[in-house]
Structure 1
Amino acid sequence: MSQEVHVAETRTLRVTGKEPVADGVVALTLADPAGARLPDWTPGAHIDLILPGGLVRQYSLCGDRWNPYTYRIAVLREPAGRGGSAYIHDVLDLGEAVGLGGPRNNFPLVPADRYLFIAGGIGITPLLPMVAQADLLGADWALLYGGRREASIAFLENLAGYGDRVQIRPQDRYGLLDLPAFVDGHRPGTRVYSCGPAPLLAAVEQACADLPPHTLRIERFVAAAHGRPLRSTPFQVELARTGTVLTVPAHSSVLDVITAAGADVLSSCRQGVCGTCEVTVLAGEPDHRDSVLDDAERAAGTCMFVCVSRSRTDRLVLDL
């Protein structure tokens, strides 16, 4: 008997530009092969890049969101990575086809009277469109941007025109970022956005610990620690579109179980940081173990990231 399955929406793009933008960082420009308009996106959005062989990697869009025909991403070479960045740097060439999932936005820029942006290394990528948007709107904003060396800090030319609103602080010249000084003098209506490596984000959280709730929003490369799951026993997952009921063992992920049953859910990081495998929850209470949702979204319980999140209840019903 055939089953109806949920198919992740993807399309094919071609690489129309590839250039180094810092030591160990290349920028890719992507376009539709037929010149068609690409889906609109908002600052903080990312795409899933589907490489030959099925590798799926998530990258923030960092180009001009008002250009509807191209996307731009930047890729840091990760020597200890899983092969995606090495393929992009060493093999992927102009004219080659890649798959696209998204765009989607788990890191949206919300209205505010003032913005403080804090970037570390390749963490500048989701913040570049935010800076452009804040400047376009005439908002009060400032950017603190650090990296190991000036040569490793990407997009300096793009940021040069903003003058002293941008503070570039290479670690080999300035040491660690002076986060308390940057966030000092916080005023009501300020929002703080940060992206970068885990040690930076931990320091940002500490510097912003006394600020009002929801002031700080961060995007992670590596999942935060969540401890042990709330339940260690199996639970059931129902795929609402087919009525299929599956059992998720204690040591298997929801993602693995549902994809083995034929539900085509796109995934990338498998750590709960990229948001690619988001699924709508129709019934039941998820045990959220991702590093994407905020407290209000967790409390609502209307979605989950099936690569890491589990269930508080005996059964979850998913919109699949």
Structure 2
Amino acid sequence: MTSNPLTLTITARQDAPGDIMCLTLADPDGAPLPPVTAGAHIDIAIGDQWRQYSLAGDPADRSQWTLGILKDPESRGGSTALHAGARPGQTVTVTGPRNHFALVEADRSCLFGGGIGITPMLAMAHELAARGAAFDLHYCTRSAGRTAFLDLLGAAPFAGHTRLHHDDDATKLTLAALPAPAPGTHIYICGPEGFMDWLIAAAEAMGHAPDHIHREYFSAEVDVTGETFEVEARETGITVTVGAEESIVTALARAGISVDVKCEEGICGTCLTDVLEGLPDHRDHFLTDEEKEDNSEMCLCCSRAKSAKLVLDI
């Protein structure tokens, strides 16, 4: 991962169906971009906000990065600002890439992308095709008229692996598309929260091992409210009370302790912190179920405490 910010140039913009904007980014001097693996994302500075977007292009192509960005009227303003202002020739500040959604070695990989959730799946399909691996790509949209990336899909080396599903016709995705459980089969899911929860629950009910069901949330509804509790920042020796209507991050900020936060929805892992004592109330979508059971780390932007006090390694 590149920790220092990069300044990249927008070399192309294409407005696609479904309120999706495809941006191409490149180094202004033509230098190779940092290496990436399929499933990676970058953080883009939008004013004083940072927002995460998956890389959708061929991971082997270091000359450019491709993003698909949904104009979401319910977002906190990042995507709408980019749709309104992003133009070829402009520069953007990015950090990354980071990858919490990487492919694992498998006999068969099944990729499910709902709407804008197709973006990391496109990179995965490129990588799997280059390996000569066995895989299927299922791309689900509301209708054929709201389906982006069709030109890319038609010309891609993985075109024969792709299945399109539209909610308003006979191609609508059904649970029959899920593969039978097998030791070497892995499933990857990305898209709207309801779409993901539906597929994850079905795959688990079929008998797929939890660690064979990989997921990445682009956004999620989080409830940070609850009973008050104390948080001790061990390194500073400061203890704060987290109120019923505030996050741990907000409470720490009142005491002068800054925590790096980007998504504020428990999906990016930027605020992941070691827990030294106490029992977290995990409300994020970043940690796996096994990691949550371990209780050694937690996301401070949205999670709370089940115990009266937490001691954090900050």
Same-fold call, TM cutoff 0.5: yes
Residue 274 of structure 1 and its aligned partner are, at CA, apart by 3.0
The whole-number CA distance in structure 2 between the counterparts of 1:65 and 1:151 is 28
Equivalent in the alignment of 2:215: 218
- Which residue of the partner structure matches residue 165 of structure 2? 169
Shift of 1:12: 3.2
Q: Which amino acid counterpart does residue 138 of structure 2 have in structure 1?
A: L
- Tell me if 1:158 matches 2:158: no
**Could you tell me how far 1:122 is from its partner in structure 2?**
0.7
Aligned runs of 1:30-69 on 2, under 5 Å?
30-52=25-47, 54-69=48-63
Post-superposition Cα deviations, 1:277-308, rounded to whole Å, max 9, x if no partner, equal: 33344555432210111122223334321110
- For 2:32 and 2:161, locate their aligned partners in 1 and report how far apart those are by CA, in whole Å: 33
Partners of 2:189 and 2:214 within 8 A in 1: yes
Partner residue in 1 for 2:251: 257
CA offsets, 1:167-217, max 9 Å, x none? Answer: 1122233263122x2125443311111111123223212431222322322
Instruction: Kindly state the Cα deviation for residue 243 of structure 1 after the two structures are TM-superposed.
Output: 4.5
Conserved? CA contact 1:47–1:104, under 8 Å = yes
Q: Partners of 2:254 and 2:61 in 1: how far apart? A: 39
Residue type of the partner of 1:117? L
- Distance, in Å, in 1 between the alignment partners of 2:141 and 2:72 is 15
Contact 2:282 2:303 (8 Å CA) reproduced: yes
Give the conservation status (yes or no) of the 8 Å contact 1:286–1:304.
yes
1:277, 1:306 within 8 Å by CA — same for their partners in 2?
A: yes
- Following superposition of structure 1 onto structure 2, how do residues 62-101 of structure 1 map, counting pairs within 5 Å? 62-101=56-95
1:1-320 to 2 correspondence within 5 Å? 10-52=5-47, 54-160=48-154, 161=156, 162-174=158-170, 176-179=172-175, 181-208=176-203, 209-214=205-210, 215-223=212-220, 232-238=227-233, 240=235, 242-313=236-307, 314-319=309-314
Please tell me the residue identity of whatever aligns with 1:166: T
Q: Kindly tell me: are residues 269 and 200 of structure 1, through their superposed partners in 2, closer, same or farther at Cα, counting changes over 3 Å?
A: same
Higher relative contact order (CA 8 A, sep 6+): 1
Query: How far did 1:227 drift?
Result: 9.7
> Would you say how many aligned residue pairs link Structure 1 and Structure 2?
307
Residue 69 of structure 1 deviates from its aligned partner by 4.5
Displacement of 1:269: 3.0
**TM-score normalised by structure 1 residue count:** 0.84
Question: What is the deviation of 1:251?
Answer: 2.7
Is the contact made by 1:237 and 1:248 (CA closer than 8 Å) also made in structure 2?
no
Of stretches 163-172 and 124-133 in structure 1, the one that deviates more from structure 2 is: 163-172
**SS of 1:168 mapped into structure 2:** strand
Distance 1:158 1:262, change over 3 A: farther
Q: Unaligned 5+ residue runs, structure 1?
A: 1-7
Q: Retained in 1: the 8 A contact 2:224–2:247?
A: no
Give the secondary structure class of the aligned counterpart of 1:95: coil
Q: Is the 8 A contact 1:272 1:292 kept in 2?
A: yes
CA contact (8 A) 1:266 1:277 kept: yes
Paired AA for residue 78 in structure 1: D
Greater alpha carbon shift after TM alignment, 103-112 vs 242-251: 242-251
RMSD value, Cα: 2.7
Range that drifts further, 107-116 or 309-318: 309-318
Larger displacement relative to structure 2 (277-286 or 83-92): 277-286
1:103-143 CA distance string (max 9 Å, x none): 22222211111111111111101111111122222221111
Paired residue type of 1:44: G
Identity of aligned residues (%): 36
Distance 2:223 2:209 in 1: 20
Moved more, 292-301 or 109-118: 292-301
Q: Matches of 1:298 and 1:262 in 2, distance apart?
A: 28
Structure 1 residues 309 and 29, CA gap change in structure 2 (3 angstroms): same
Secondary structure at the counterpart of residue 168 of structure 2: helix
Contact 2:221 2:265 in 1 (8 A): no
Code of the aligned partner of 2:88: L
Alpha-carbon distance between aligned partners in 1 of 2:65 and 2:255, rounded to the nearest angstrom:
34
**2:35 match: secondary structure:** coil
